Structures are given as structure tokens and as C-alpha cells.
């Protein structure tokens, strides 16, 4: 029982960290496309951290702190419509920040001495079934987002993103070299810092692991089992696997708790 409890905590923390990183990416991308005269819709994904939104939007994008810095320097398609680009980024950020809130509540509940497993099941199910629509940045066509395999952790997606990361990480290291002087002059708050180079190295190593675990897929399956309690790295992404793992373990614990209650009631009846 202790092992199962530790496993559920491990999976919930993995889910939370995964959604936190996805949310950070969407937030930083949102900041790069929002006009300076537009209101920023911040959804509290950084918890109690205080944010000066006015200063943040007026800062040069590459000089922003780590939690607001976008690693995506790719230009938008020439036929992208600014109105759709903004709506797409805003809705994606809001969607994933809401999922992150649910994941944090699940983790907090599991850390209690006596977790409410039914509440955990309900919240995890909400994450699993969540979906939203965002407009295409080209023509505004509706695109459906959910927690399926496209979020990563899938064999094919990880291989592609891993290869991209092996190319992207060295490029970002060169960007960091260029921004070392602005960092030393206190203009840049993250890019060009020692922490930035360390994160770039971690990014490169993670990308290499994604490629290797996709080629040597038994390694990826074992890692998936440890982090999500599932071997399925073909048809499901890591968020979906983690949510299903939490639901399964919570249901097992709920059954055990109900059996203990029934046993206790039976003993009371015998005493009476």
C-alpha cells in the first residue's frame, strides 16, 4: 500500500511538471504575440508569484525572465493573421493553465494524510476529458485541443521533437553567447546567464534521451511505466497516460478504503 501511495504521488508530480512546462511554453508564446496596447489575460499559472504585467509586456522579449522567456524564435507564416495568432495563443494558454490548476490540486490532495480519492478521480477525469477549440492562425478554422498523444510522450512525436531539440539546443547556445554581454550589463534577465546555458545543456540531453528512447523503445516503455504507470508509448501521450494512471491507482485505493470501512462496520455489528 505504501508503494502504491508513493507511485500515485510520483505520477501526479510528473503530470504537474509536464503541464507546468507546457503552460510555460504557451504563456511565453502568448507574450510574444500580444500587442503592447492589449490587455494580458494572466491565469495565475505561476501561483503566488507576483508579476508586473505592464513592465513584462514592455520588456524586450529576449530580455525577459526565465518563466516568461520564449525559446521559440521561428517566424510566423507570411499569411498568418494577427487576430487569429493572438486568439490562438491566448486560448491555448488559458486551456493548459486550467489543466495545471487541476493537476496541482490533485498533487496537494495526494499529499494529505487521508486523501479524498473520489475527488482525485473526478479531477483527473476532468483533465482527461478536457478539450477546447482554437482558431487556425491562417484562416481561423476551428482546431480541437485535448490531452491526447500530440502533447508528447508518444513514440513518433518524441522522436521528431528529439531530433529538433538536438538541432535547436546548439542554436540556442549560440544565442546565449550573443546575449552574454546584455546579461552582464543587466539588460537580459535570463538569456545569456549561466542558468540559461545549464538549461540548454539539459534541453540537449533530454532531446537525446527522447531520440534514444524512441529508437530503443523498451527503454522508453520502462521510463513511461515509472512516470505514468503505463507501457503504452505508441497510442497515448504522457499526459493522457499519467491521468489514466492516477485514476486507476485512486480507484484501487478507494476500493481498499471502502473495504476497510465495511470491515469496521462488520466488527461493530459483531460487538453489538
pLDDT in tens, 170-224: 999 999 999 999 999 999 999 999 999 999 999 999 999 999 999 998 988 999 8
Strands (E) across 128-179 are located at 131-135, 142-146
pLDDT digits (tens, 9 = 90+) for 116-128: 999 999 999 999 9
Residue 223 three-state SS:
helix
Domain segments of the chain: what residues?
Answer: 2-271
Residue 244 contacts residue 225 (beta carbons within 8 Å): no
d(CA 137, CA 134): 9
Range 80-92 burial, b when 16+ CB lie within 10 A, else e: bbeebbbbbbbbb
pTM, two decimals, is 0.89
pLDDT at 4 (0 to 100): 47
Residue 224 contacts residue 230 (beta carbons within 8 Å): yes
Joined together, the cell numbers standing for residue 121 give 478521480
Query: CA-CA distances (angstroms) from residue 118 to 109, 114, 128?
Result: 11, 12, 15
pLDDT digits (tens, 9 = 90+) for 78-116: 888 999 999 999 999 999 999 999 999 999 999 988 889
Residue 134 contacts residue 87 (beta carbons within 8 Å): yes
Contacts of 223 (CB under 8 A, 6+ apart): 213
Amino acid at each position: 500500500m505504501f508503494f502504491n501511495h508513493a507511485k500515485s504521488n510520483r505520477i501526479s508530480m510528473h503530470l504537474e511538471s509536464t503541464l507546468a512546462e507546457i503552460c510555460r511554453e504557451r504563456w511565453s508564446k502568448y507574450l510574444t504575440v500580444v500587442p503592447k496596447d492589449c490587455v494580458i489575460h494572466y491565469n495565475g499559472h505561476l501561483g503566488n508569484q507576483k508579476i508586473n504585467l505592464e513592465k513584462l509586456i514592455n520588456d524586450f522579449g529576449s530580455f525577459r525572465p526565465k518563466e516568461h522567456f520564449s525559446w521559440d524564435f521561428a517566424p510566423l507564416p507570411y499569411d498568418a493573421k494577427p487576430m487569429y495568432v493572438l486568439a490562438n495563443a491566448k486560448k491555448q494558454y488559458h486551456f493548459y493553465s486550467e489543466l495545471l490548476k487541476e493537476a496541482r490540486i490533485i498533487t496537494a490532495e495526494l499529499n494529505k494524510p487521508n486523501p479524498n480519492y473520489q475527488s482525485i478521480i473526478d479531477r483527473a477525469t476532468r483533465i482527461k476529458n478536457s478539450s477546447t477549440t482554437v482558431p487556425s492562425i491562417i484562416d481561423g478554422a476551428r482546431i480541437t485541443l485535448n490531452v491526447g498523444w500530440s502533447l508528447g510522450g508518444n513514440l513518433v512525436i518524441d522522436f521528431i521533437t528529439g531530433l529538433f531539440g538536438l538541432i535547436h539546443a546548439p542554436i540556442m547556445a549560440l544565442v546565449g553567447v550573443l546575449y552574454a554581454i546584455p546579461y552582464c550589463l543587466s539588460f537580459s534577465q535570463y538569456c545569456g546567464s549561466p542558468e540559461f546555458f545549464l538549461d540548454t545543456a539539459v534541453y540537449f540531453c533530454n532531446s537525446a534521451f527522447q531520440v534514444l528512447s524512441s529508437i530503443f523503445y523498451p527503454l522508453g516503455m520502462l521510463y513511461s511505466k515509472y512516470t505514468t504507470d503505463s507501457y503504452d508509448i505508441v497510442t497515448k501521450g504522457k499526459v493522457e497516460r499519467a491521468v489514466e494512471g492516477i485514476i486507476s491507482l485512486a480507484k484501487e485505493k478507494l476500493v481498499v478504503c471502502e473495504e476497510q470501512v465495511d470491515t469496521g462496520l462488520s466488527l461493530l455489528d459483531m460487538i453489538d
